[in-house]
Chain A
Amino acid sequence: MQYKRENDEKVETDRLFLKVLHLLRSEIAYGVSTLPECCFNVSNRLGTSGEAERGIKQALINVRDRMKQENGKDFGEVFGEEINKAAAKISVDPEGLEIFAKFAENKGFSDIEAQIRALDLCAEMLEERIEERKKKNGEKGRLAVKLGLLGGILIVILLI
Chain B
Amino acid sequence: MTGHGEMERDMKWRNLLRLFPEKQKEKWVRVLKQADELREIRIRIGQPVAIVDRRGEIFFTDLQNSWIITEQEINDIFQQICGFSPYAYEDEIRQGFLTVSGGHRIGITGRTVLDERGKIRTIKYVQALNIRVSHEVIGAADEVMPYLYDGENIKNTLILSLPGVGKTTLLRDIVRQLSDGNSKHCGVTVGVVDERSEIAACHMGSPQNDLGRRTDVLDACPKAIGISMLVRAMTPRVIAVDELMGKEDISAVEEAMGCGCSIIATLHGKDPEDILWKFGDRSADWIRRFQLFIMLDRVGNAPHITEIRERRKADASFDRRSPDPWRNLWAGHAV
Are A and B co-members of a single complex?
A: yes
A154 close to B (CB within 8 Å): no
Of B40-48, B83-91, B161-169, which stretch is located at the interface?
A: B83-91
Residues of B close to A75: CB separation below 8 A: 83-84
B90/A33 in contact, CB under 8 A: no
Main secondary structure of the interface of A (DSSP, over half): loop
CA distance A37 to B101 in the complex (A): 14
Interface residues of A in 87-107 (CB under 8 A from B): 107
Number of residues from A at the complex interface, CB < 8 A: 24
Complex: chain B residue closest to A76, CB-CB: B84
Residues of B close to A109: CB separation below 8 A: 86-87
Residues of B close to A37: CB separation below 8 A: 83, 204
A112 close to B (CB within 8 Å): yes
Of B17-25, B239-247, B268-276, B279-287, which stretch is located at the interface?
A: B17-25
CA distance A110 to B80 in the complex (A): 13
A108/B86 in contact, CB under 8 A: yes
The residue from B14, B21, B24, B90 contacting A110, defined by CB atoms under 8 A apart: B90
Residues of B close to A34: CB separation below 8 A: 82-85, 88
* A-B Cβ contacts below 8 A, count: 67
A71 close to B (CB within 8 Å): yes
The residue from B18, B90, B123 contacting A71, defined by CB atoms under 8 A apart: B18
The residue from B18, B87, B122 contacting A115, defined by CB atoms under 8 A apart: B87
CA distance A111 to B82 in the complex (A): 13
Residues of B close to A111: CB separation below 8 A: 87, 90, 122
Residues of A close to B24: CB separation below 8 A: 72
CA distance A90 to B22 in the complex (A): 31
Complex: chain B residue closest to A28, CB-CB: B87
Of A34, A36, A76, the most chain B CB neighbours within 10 A belong to A34
A35 close to B (CB within 8 Å): yes
Interface residues of B in 1-56 (CB under 8 A from A): 14, 17-18, 20-25
B79 close to A (CB within 8 Å): yes
* Residues of chain B whose beta carbon lies under 8 Å from any beta carbon of chain A: 14, 17-18, 20-25, 79-80, 82-88, 90, 93, 122-124, 204
Of the A-B pairs whose beta carbons lie under 8 Å apart in the complex, a sample of 15, sorted by A's number, is A32-B87, A33-B88, A34-B84, A36-B83, A37-B83, A71-B17, A72-B17, A72-B18, A72-B20, A72-B80, A73-B22, A76-B84, A108-B79, A108-B82, A110-B124
